[in-house]
């Protein structure tokens, strides 16, 4: 393990010194590539593709070493600082494992929820002004909504039961309907956002990942729409030659076959 990691570090040093492309990269140019690699890992995880997961983890590990290399060149930090930093953080935030028994101000750990609540309290002790401060600004909106709700839950800002959550969904839908009547675009957008946020909350209470649920529907739509295109092609027609009623009939037929 140590030998293979040092091999990667050595290769990174050589590439940074000798390869024109690697020499040119900055943290800004790497940023989007890192995001793409993370999404590729997410795709592999969704597919439970272990070979793909292994490959994508390697790509992300390369990026981490790359950022550390640039950090050392700029005399900001070295790779050891990165590794020791996360080790220190994990030990500090798991006092029920590594602590000396001093859990002052923290909950006694019995469940994973206790660990989450203690984690947030410890982050505030580190100087964070809000428990929401750790939610990345650049997260996709739905994922951000999930994280905001999960974090606010750790301090008790949470509905007591699912009936209350569903009532909130109905309330937000009613307000959206009223906003649509006004024709005020800003108000409609604001109320639409409230509907999405309340639905994400409802999904959480159902123990469903809202982002995964939406992606599941995206994939289902792609699969069925492409099946409509295949039917049109088999009939020697362009998709534009079919009207909505015809396309909907094919859609329903495809849906029926999937549910058999």
Q: What's the pLDDT at 100? A: 64
Angle at 133 between CA 131 and CA 135, to 5 degrees: 100
Residues 169 and 232 in one domain: no
Q: What's the pLDDT at 74? A: 96
How far are the Cα atoms of 232, 249, 252 from residue 256, in angstroms, in the given order? 18, 11, 6
What's the structural domain count of the chain?
3
Residues 220 and 200 in one domain: no
Residues 15 and 44 in one domain: yes
The first and second tokens of residue 193, run together, are: 């956002």
Residues 9 and 85 in one domain: yes
User: Is the pTM above the cut of 0.85?
Assistant: no
Residues 15 and 57 in one domain: yes
Q: What's the pLDDT at 30? A: 96
Last residue of a domain, one of 75, 91, 107: 91
Residues 59 and 7 in one domain: yes
Q: What's the pLDDT at 109? A: 81
Q: What's the pLDDT at 125? A: 76
Give a yes or no: residue 195 inside a domain.
yes
Return d(Cα 207, Cα 241) in angstroms, integer.
43
Instruction: Let me know: does 71 contact 30? Beta carbons within 8 Å.
Output: no
Q: What's the pLDDT at 102? A: 59
Range of the domain at 202: 159-208
Q: What's the pLDDT at 13? A: 96
pLDDT in tens, the chain (260 residues): 689 999 999 999 999 999 999 999 999 999 999 999 999 999 999 889 999 999 999 999 999 999 999 999 999 999 999 999 999 989 888 888 887 655 677 777 888 888 888 877 787 777 777 888 878 888 899 999 999 999 899 888 999 999 999 999 999 999 999 999 999 999 999 999 999 999 999 999 999 999 999 999 999 999 999 999 999 999 898 888 889 999 999 999 999 888 86
Residues 192 and 230 in one domain: no
DSSP element (H, E) containing 33:
helix 27-46
Return d(Cα 103, Cα 122) in angstroms, integer.
11
């Amino acid at each position: 393990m140590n030998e293979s990691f040092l091999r990667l570090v050595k290769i990174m040093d050589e590439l940074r010194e000798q390869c024109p492309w690697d020499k040119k990269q900055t943290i800004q140019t790497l940023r989007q590539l890192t995001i793409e690699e993370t999404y590729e890992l997410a795709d592999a995880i969704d597919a439970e593709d272990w070979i793909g997961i292994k490959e994508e983890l390697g790509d992300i590990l390369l990026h981490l070493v790359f950022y550390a290399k640039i950090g050392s060149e700029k005399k900001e930090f070295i790779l050891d600082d990165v590794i020791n930093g996360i080790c220190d953080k994990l030990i500090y935030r798991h006092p029920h494992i590594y602590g000396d028994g001093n859990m002052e101000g923290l909950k006694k750990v019995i469940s994973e929820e206790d660990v989450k609540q203690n984690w947030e309290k410890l982050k505030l002790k580190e100087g964070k002004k809000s428990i929401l401060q750790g939610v990345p600004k650049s997260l996709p909106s739905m994922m951000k909504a999930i994280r905001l709700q999960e974090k606010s839950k750790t301090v008790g800002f949470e509905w007591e039961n699912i009936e209350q959550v569903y009532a909130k969904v109905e309330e937000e839908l009613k307000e959206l309907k009223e906003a649509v009547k006004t024709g005020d675009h800003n108000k409609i957008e604001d109320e639409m956002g409230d509907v999405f946020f309340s639905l994400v909350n409802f999904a959480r209470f159902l123990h469903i990942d809202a982002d995964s649920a939406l992606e599941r529907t995206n994939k289902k739509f792609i699969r069925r729409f492409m099946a409509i295109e295949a039917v049109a092609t088999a009939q020697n027609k362009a998709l534009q030659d079919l009207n909505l009623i015809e396309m909907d009939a094919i859609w329903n037929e495809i849906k029926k076959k999937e549910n058999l």
